[in-house]
Amino acid sequence: MKTKLIYSVIAAAVIMAMSGCTQESVVNSDTPTVMNASIHVSDQAFQSVDGTTRATNSGVSTTFVDGDAIGIFIVKNGAASVTNEKYTYHNGAWYKSTGSATISYDADAKYFAYYPYQADMTNKYTLAATTSADDFFAGLISGWTLTKDFTGTNYDAQDLMVSMGTASKPSDNTVEYSFTMNHKMALVEFQYPQTVVTDPNDATYSRATYTWLDDYKPYNLKNGCYRILVKPLTDYSFRGKEYESC
């Protein structure tokens, strides 16, 4: 999708399991503890067919924007202490819907996240499949649907990414959570030569455009460069017609 890198330091009160316990005893207990959270979310760039890496929006400065949201799961021994908790990006930090910025911590748990957030995750994850994010979110990935409209925010909204994250050891009552998102849809990029048309009446220039058929509305990265997301290992066909002056 985009090269996304957000680092947010979130302050919150630590809930101790019992009076007089040290931080170490709480962290090592079987009960998840709410900790201060430092959340680091990035995405692994698309890989081209020749194995090289490229950012999806080369030449465009992109980051998560206010309103973007991820879903987080925390799983241990086939049970979830956190299930599809929504964290929304706002002013450089991630917050739950309650306005809180805390998250549970368990040293032996597995941490999973996906983007974009969906309220209904029924049959889209498997608590027993914690070997990888692909296994955990197998239902979400296999059932992901794409439209033919990738204009505006529609491109980002269809760019499914998942991650199996890590949690650092607590330091000063803060845990760093790191999620490197992997794109689960494939990217198809079309590049066409550009034609410049001169209007002799007013000396203005009009750049020609490519007309897409089959109702496809690709993401127009720049003049002559179009991008569409597709499901991997699926046959697609795209049609268009000659350039027409703007």
Give the rounded distance of the alpha carbon of 11 from its chain centre.
24
Interval 119-168: pLDDT, tens: 999 999 999 999 999 999 999 999 999 999 999 889 989 999 999 999 88
Beta bridge partners of 201: none
Neighbours of 170 (CB within 10 A): 19
Interval 207-219: pLDDT, tens: 556 677 788 899 8
Q: Residues 6 or more apart from 185 whose CB is under 8 A from it?
A: 144, 146, 158, 159, 160, 229, 230, 231, 232
Question: Full-prediction pTM beyond 0.85?
Answer: no
Q: Residues 6 or more apart from 36 whose CB is under 8 A from it?
A: 10, 11, 12, 14, 102, 172, 173, 174, 175
Local confidence pLDDT in tens for the 246 residues of the chain: 443 433 333 333 322 233 333 333 334 446 677 766 667 787 776 666 555 544 444 533 346 788 999 999 999 999 999 999 999 888 888 888 887 777 888 889 999 999 999 999 999 999 999 999 999 999 999 999 999 999 988 998 999 999 999 988 888 878 888 899 999 999 888 887 766 666 666 655 555 566 777 888 998 887 778 889 999 988 888 887 766 554
Give the CA angle between residues 120, 133, 127 to the nearest 5°: 60
Q: Token pair for residue 111?
A: 């941490």
